[in-house]
Amino acid sequence: MDRRDKILYLINNSFHGSQVKFAEAIKRSPAQVNQWVTNRRAVGDGLALHIERSLNLPTGWLDKKEDNKTVNNQSNAFYIGAPKDAYDDSCPLGNDEVEVPFYTDISLSAGNGFASDIQDFNNMKMRFPLTMLNKKGINPERVVCIGADGDSMEPAIPDGAIVGINTGDTQIRDGKLYAINHDGLLRIKVLKKRPGNKILIQSYNSNSYPDEEIDAGAISVIGKIFWWSVLL
């Protein structure tokens, strides 16, 4: 992978494919970023060092000859959402890193959010930068990660994507994305309040999954979705 490929990898896997968000993170214009990824402008040595420092990457990371699998297994704190089994347990937690549970086998009780046995999460964890969570006002102790199942939220959240949930944020705000317990079924949906104590449930894949209007008491909000990523 050359510098352009590494930048594309970062954009796709840590910024949800958004060149704008990547540009904001490194304090450069989206137009400049677009020139790099389309090979209209080279990424020079000084710029490469700036990107690495801005994103807390090891110096020289953009020039390391690594394939996608190796890159995905980096333990640097910048790689939010890197599953713990992807790196050696002996790798110490960074000063700006926190670990959160990654639930791979989820059981729900109807109407009660996560079941009491949810704590058995096969010892899987994810790493996140603490500064990123603090900036969003998210308590790390209230963060859990799960794997998305199905195609109802495609193309934004494809089947198999990993999703970060802030279980400390359960107040419904119209148009925001939430993880809910709907009669024992874990669902990731856009929620909107409706008159008569009703809730409108929406999917991004609206052609296959039409809107649903239900009684507010029929669901339990597990938490607000604040992050997701796709594993290659």
Q: Where are the domains of the chain?
A: 3-72, 82-229
- Confidence label for 5 from pLDDT (cuts 50, 70 and 90): confident
Predicted model pTM:
0.62
- Confidence label for 70 from pLDDT (cuts 50, 70 and 90): very low
- Average pLDDT of 128-139? 89
Which carries the bigger pLDDT value, residue 200 or residue 20? 200
**In b/e form, how buried is each residue of 161-188, taking b as 16+ CB within 10 angstroms?**
bbbbbbbebbebeeeebbbbbbeeebbb
The dotted CATH code for 3-72 is 1.10.260
Residue 85 confidence (pLDDT): 43
- pLDDT, tens digit, 9 for 90 and up, residues 167-181: 999 999 999 999 999
Residue 225 has pLDDT above 60, yes or no: yes
Using alpha carbons, select from 170, 202, 12, 179 the residue that is nearest to residue 103. 179
Tokens of 47: 């710029």
Fold of 82-229: Umud Fragment, subunit A (2.10.109)
Asked if the domains at 3-72 and 82-229 fall in one CATH topology, the answer is: no
What mean pLDDT value characterizes the chain? 79
